Structure 1
Amino acid sequence: MYTSFFLLSSRWSLPMMMSISHRGTGVAMSLGVSLFGLSALVLPGHFADYLDLIRSLSLGPVLIYSAKFALAFPLSFHTWNGIRHLAWDMGKGFKIPQVYQSGVLVLVLTVLSSVGIAAM
């Protein structure tokens, strides 16, 4: 009982949330690429036909940009956090203040690069 109370009452730290998110984005991207590839094998027609279908919906630029941002965000986060992990593999940034600083840097770079990729 005490353990479950402790788990429910304690706040999640930034490094813990980022670690879970790193794993989650990796699984989500792997699953997304696998499903996309499988759909290319199973669905009738050609990829260009599906692109034409999306174009015919006449979606607004805000919705299109939001969708592109939603696709770019996991890729950007996983990439920047992976670079952070590579720095840790080299023995850099293990002190707690550095862990939090690099975490914030990863989040800022993720948002900026996702905005840039979505604008393409």
Structure 2
Amino acid sequence: MISQKVAQQSLRRLAIQSPSGLTLSMAKFATPAAIATGRYMQMRPTSTTPNTTDPTKILAQQRLKRPVSPHLSIYRPQITWYASGLHRITGSIASGGLYVFATAYLVAPVFGWHLESASIAAAFGALPFAAKFLVKLGLALPVTFHSFNGVRHLLWDTGRFLTNKQVIQTGWTVVGLSTISALALALL
């Protein structure tokens, strides 16, 4: 308790005296109360060069000298990004389609729609073969790709197939398996 009072008194004496090197260096730091009340303004020294050009031009020149960050247009496309992006897209398509159909099935009686299995099967059966094939392929491809790529991610979680060569091989394997299985399902 006494040490606190001594420290406070010495700090008060130091603040009252004429500015010394210590108080000038301490003036750079704002007190929390000054920051909280908004009475503190940080000051920086001005430029030493007598340049009176437009500041927006200076900023544009500085930006031109900065390094360009890597962008998708710089990198060579790889199977890993395509597989990652397609995994997210196919998951959204599969789950979104399920939600849309489930919602439509729930509100069908209110609007008088017939979404029973018999009416869907009859409507689908009336389609020509090419249309049936495209509908089934459109439904099967996202689900098969997402499923096989999900197995690939589960294998990665176990610590397997993580070298660059293995990642590329498993990526093309997933593409091949999902395409073959989707075609097989569409031809059923």
1:116 and 2:181 matched: no
Check if 1:49 corresponds to 2:115: no
Tell me the residue number matched to 2:83. 18
Q: Distance in 1 between matches of 2:132 and 2:141?
A: 14
Higher helix share: 1
Q: Does residue 1:80 correspond to 2:145, yes or no?
A: no
Residue in 1 that maps onto 2:54: none
Query: What fraction of aligned residue pairs are identical, expressed as a percent?
Result: 32
Please identify the structure whose Cα radius of gyration is greater. 2
Q: 1:63-102 maps to which residues of 2 (within 5 A)?
A: 63-102=131-170
Does residue 1:107 correspond to 2:172, yes or no? no
CA distance in 2, matches of 1:49, 1:60: 17
Task: Give 1:112's aligned amino acid.
Answer: I
Deviations 1:1-44 (A, max 9, x none): 8237x332323321011011101111111111000000011122
What stretches of structure 1 of length at least 5 have no aligned partner? none
Partner of 1:3: 69
Question: Letter of the aligned partner of 2:79 in structure 1?
Answer: L
CA–CA separation in structure 2 for the residues paired with 1:63 and 1:72:
14
Q: Partners in 1 of 2:175 and 2:124 — Cα distance? A: 31
CA distance in 2, matches of 1:54, 1:110: 24
CA distance in 1, matches of 2:158, 2:134: 36
Whole-angstrom distance in 2 between the partners of 1:72 and 1:117: 7
Residue 33 (1) aligns with residue 101 (2): no
| Paired letter, 1:32 | G
Query: What do you get for the CA RMSD once the two structures are aligned?
Result: 1.8
TM-score (norm 2): 0.57
Q: Distance in 1 between matches of 2:76 and 2:119?
A: 48
Count of residues in Structure 1 that have an aligned counterpart in Structure 2: 117
The answer to whether the 8 A contact 2:79-2:171 is kept is yes
> Which one has more relative contact order, counting CA pairs under 8 Å at least 6 apart?
1
TM-score (normalizing by structure 1): 0.86
What SS class does the counterpart of residue 73 from structure 2 fall into?
A: helix
Superposed CA deviations along residues 62-110 of structure 1, whole A, max 9, x for unmatched, are: 1211110111000100111011111111110000000000011111101
Counterpart amino acid of residue 73 in structure 2: L
